[in-house]
C-alpha cells in the first residue's frame, strides 16, 4: 500500500528551538549546544495513526532575517506549518503573526498551522503567558500548544495534533482511541541508514549535502 507523504515546515525566529523540537521528536534527544540552522535541514519519519501509516517530511528552516526571502519556496506544497516562539522572548511571540501571514500568503487555507510556545521548561522565566498564546492562536485560527524539547513535555502530543489535522480520512482529535505511534526510518542499532537516519542540508550558498543523523535513539513511541 502506498504511504502518503506530507511536508511539514518549521518556522520562527532564530534560536526559538525549532531544531531542538525536531530532534526530540526524531531521536528523543536534546542538545543545549545546537548551532543556528543555515538555510534548511530536512528529515523524514514514518508515523502510524491507528491503521494508517504516513511519512512526514520535516523541514527545519533558518530563522535569521537574511533567509526570509527563501521561506515562500520552502512552504510550497507544505501540508502543515509549525510556527514556534520562545515563551521567554517577547519579540519572538510578537513576530508570530508575520510568520503565519507568510504561510497563508503562500498556501492559503490549504495548510494546517500550529503555533507552539517552546521552552516550556523555563516557565518561571516566561514573559508570554499561556493565555496569551491561546488567544493568539484563536485570533489567527490556528492550533496551539506549548512544549519543551529539553524535557520532552507535550512534544509527542503536538505532533499527534498535526498528524490528525492532515488531509486524509481524519480521526477526531477528541477520539481517545486515536494513538500516534512513531517508527524511526532508521535502525536504532546502527549509525547509518538509507532512510530517516540522514538529513539533507541546504547551505547558505544554496548547495545541498547529505549528513548522517544517527538512529532512533529511543525516539520511537
* Selected residue with higher pLDDT from 40 and 176: 40
Q: Does residue 93 register a pLDDT over 90?
A: yes
Question: What mean pLDDT value characterizes the chain?
Answer: 80
Q: Which pLDDT tens digit goes with each residue over 5-27?
A: 999 999 999 999 999 999 999 99
- Residue 219 banded pLDDT, cuts 50, 70, 90: very low
- What percentage of the chain has pLDDT greater than the value 70? 74
pTM of the model: 0.77
* Selected residue with higher pLDDT from 196 and 147: 147
CA distance 192 to 3: 23
CA distance 180 to 202: 30
Q: Which pLDDT tens digit goes with each residue over 154-202?
A: 999 999 999 999 986 443 334 443 344 444 333 333 333 333 444 544 4
Q: How many residues does the chain have?
A: 221
Running DSSP on this structure, what letter comes out for residue 172?
A: P
CB atoms within 10 A of CB 110: 12
Domain 4-212: what homologous superfamily?
P-loop containing nucleotide triphosphate hydrolases (3.40.50.300)
49 closest CA partner among 181, 143, 212: 181
Q: What pLDDT does 29 receive?
A: 93
CA distance 112 to 167: 9
Q: Where are the domains of the chain?
A: 4-212
CA-based angle 104:109:113, to the nearest 5?
A: 65
Q: What is the mean pLDDT of residues 39-47?
A: 87
Q: What pLDDT does 39 receive?
A: 67
Q: What pLDDT does 31 receive?
A: 86
Amino acid at each position: 500500500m502506498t504511504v502518503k507523504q506530507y511536508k511539514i515546515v518549521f518556522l520562527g525566529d532564530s534560536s526559538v528551538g525549532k531544531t531542538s523540537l525536531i530532534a526530540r521528536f526524531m531521536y528523543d534527544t536534546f542538545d543545549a549546544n545546537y548551532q543556528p540552522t543555515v538555510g534548511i535541514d530536512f528529515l523524514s519519519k514514518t508515523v502510524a495513526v491507528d491503521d494508517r501509516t504516513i511519512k512526514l517530511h520535516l523541514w527545519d528552516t533558518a530563522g535569521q532575517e537574511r533567509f526570509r526571502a527563501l521561506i515562500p519556496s520552502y512552504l510550497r506544497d507544505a501540508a502543515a506549518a509549525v510556527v514556534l516562539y520562545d515563551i521567554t522572548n517577547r519579540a519572538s511571540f510578537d513576530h508570530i503573526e508575520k510568520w503565519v501571514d507568510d504561510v497563508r500568503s503562500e498556501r492559503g487555507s490549504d495548510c494546517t498551522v500550529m503555533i507552539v510556545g517552546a521552552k516550556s521548561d523555563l516557565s518561571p522565566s516566561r514573559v508570554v503567558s499561556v493565555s496569551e498564546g491561546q488567544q493568539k492562536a484563536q485570533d489567527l485560527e490556528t492550533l496551539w500548544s506549548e512544549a519543551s524539547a529539553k524535557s520532552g513535555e507535550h512534544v509527542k502530543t503536538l505532533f499527534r495534533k498535526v498528524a490528525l489535522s492532515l488531509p486524509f480520512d481524519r480521526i477526531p482529535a477528541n477520539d481517545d482511541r486515536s494513538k500516534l505511534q512513531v517508527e524511526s526510518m532508521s535502525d536504532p542499532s546502527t549509525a547509518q541508514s538509507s532512510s530517516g537516519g540522514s538529513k539533507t542540508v541546504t547551505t547558505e550558498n544554496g548547495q545541498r549535502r547529505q549528513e548522517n543523523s544517527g538512529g532512533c535513539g529511543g525516539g520511537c513511541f
